[in-house]
């Protein structure tokens, strides 16, 4: 292309950009220009999907569709998604920059109100306590998988049914408990494995779940805490836009993962998530363990969670003393 032709092209592009800006600014022509911009974005997204070629679902190998979404509450946040047409699993291609890279100590990890501190128990403690009650056994060994900044291992250790608590993660920034590297083959299996807010960070769910499930004894119980997608407007769903969230599961997607690994599956709702999509996902190879879980929830409307426990404790602390009963006099009132 000659210099004069290049100059002509640049001037044409600048004129087109100015024309589009004026069209969007004019209330009379804005709807037509906005519609045209949306069509071009859809076309570009389709081109990106074609460039990815024969991409298949990471869970069930089904065909996928592609969507580019802006978060309605913060349009600067964009997600490039692959959505399985068969099991509904949602993969986020834009969240693969790990927030854990470069961390060397526990202070580097983000604090969380749901994580247990040395002073108070958090979500992992309540999940582990529920698991011990479901199993109904003593001398249990518990693994807190993806412990991060939660110090619930110390609170779990105080449970009478628990013999030992181990923590596991992809990086070791802790020295307050026995540590298992999640990237290496496990030295042993555990009766209770707690993985709260972990599986949504999986990059490749099949092999990542294999690493997690191989830590569970045949008669053991794995409980994962995560949000479950059940339809709705993804552009208004903050969960898929959170940092480092690369996997958003549907019930059929998790059923496929459990089935292929020889596990039974169940979903339960914590009270803190009753109005949201938060679920505890229970996995076990043992049908008896899952029946015991069903019996546990036969008398419990919701699974325990950290906020609910704090609320109950606060209510007990401020509950007024009962009024003394009046002695019966035998006289009509």
Cα separation, 207 vs 211, in Å, equals 6
Query: Is residue 2 in some structural domain?
Result: no
Cα separation, 32 vs 39, in Å, equals 11
> pLDDT digits over 94-120, tens only?
977 655 554 444 444 454 556 656 678
> pLDDT digits over 259-287, tens only?
999 999 999 999 875 557 899 999 999 99
| Class of residue 162 by CB neighbours under 10 A (exposed 0-12, middle 13-18, buried 19+) | buried
Contacts of 221 (CB under 8 A, 6+ apart): 131, 134, 135, 191, 192, 193, 282, 283, 284, 289, 293
> pLDDT digits over 36-76, tens only?
665 555 444 444 444 455 899 999 999 999 999 999 999 99
pLDDT at position 113: 53
pLDDT at position 202: 96
Query: Is residue 104 in some structural domain?
Result: no
Query: Is residue 90 in some structural domain?
Result: no
Cα separation, 314 vs 311, in Å, equals 5
- pLDDT of 307 strictly over 90: no
Cα separation, 126 vs 131, in Å, equals 9
CATH code (residue 175): 3.40.50.150
Expressed in angstroms, the distance from the first to the final Cα of the chain is 106
Instruction: Provide the number of structural domains found in the chain.
Output: 1
Query: Is residue 282 in some structural domain?
Result: yes
Q: Is the pLDDT higher at 324 or at 211? A: 211
> pLDDT digits over 178-200, tens only?
999 988 888 999 999 999 999 99
Domain that holds residue 307: 116-229+257-312
- pLDDT of 324 strictly over 80: no
> pLDDT digits over 288-306, tens only?
999 999 999 999 999 998 7
- pLDDT of 254 strictly over 70: yes
Query: Is residue 252 in some structural domain?
Result: no
Query: Is residue 21 in some structural domain?
Result: no
CB 29 within 8 A of CB 20: no
pTM of the shown model? 0.74
């Amino acid at each position: 292309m000659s210099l004069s032709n290049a100059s002509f092209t640049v001037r044409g592009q600048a004129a087109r950009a100015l024309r589009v800006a004026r069209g969007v600014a004019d209330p009379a022509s804005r709807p037509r220009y906005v519609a045209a911009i949306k069509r071009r974005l859809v076309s570009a997204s389709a081109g990106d999907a074609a460039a990815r070629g024969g991409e298949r679902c990471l869970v069930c190998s089904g065909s996928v569709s592609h969507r580019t979404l802006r978060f309605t509450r913060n349009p600067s946040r964009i997600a490039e998604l692959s959505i399985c047409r068969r099991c509904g699993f949602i993969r986020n291609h834009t969240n693969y920059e790990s927030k854990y890279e470069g961390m060397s100590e526990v202070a580097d990890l983000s604090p969380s109100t749901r994580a247990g501190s040395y002073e108070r128990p958090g979500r992992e403690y309540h999940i582990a306590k529920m698991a011990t009650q479901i199993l109904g056994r003593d001398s249990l060994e518990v693994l807190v998988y993806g412990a991060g900044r939660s110090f619930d291992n110390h609170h779990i250790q105080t449970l009478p049914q628990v013999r030992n608590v181990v923590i596991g993660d992809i990086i070791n920034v802790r020295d307050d408990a026995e540590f298992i590297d999640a990237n290496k083959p496990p030295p042993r299996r555990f009766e209770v494995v707690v993985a709260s807010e972990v599986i949504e960070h999986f990059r490749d769910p099949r092999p990542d779940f294999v690493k997690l499930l191989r830590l569970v004894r045949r008669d053991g119980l794995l409980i994962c805490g995560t949000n479950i997608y059940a339809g709705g407007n993804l552009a208004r769903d903050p969960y898929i836009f959170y940092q480092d969230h690369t996997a958003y599961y549907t019930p059929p997607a998790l059923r496929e993962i459990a089935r292929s690994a020889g596990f039974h599956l169940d979903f339960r709702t914590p009270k803190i998530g009753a109005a949201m999509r938060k679920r505890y996902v229970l996995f076990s190879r043992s049908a008896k363990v899952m029946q015991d879980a069903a019996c546990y929830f036969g008398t419990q409307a919701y699974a325990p969670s950290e906020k609910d426990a704090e609320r109950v404790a606060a209510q007990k602390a401020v509950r007024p003393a009962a009024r003394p009963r009046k002695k019966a006099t035998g006289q009509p009132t």
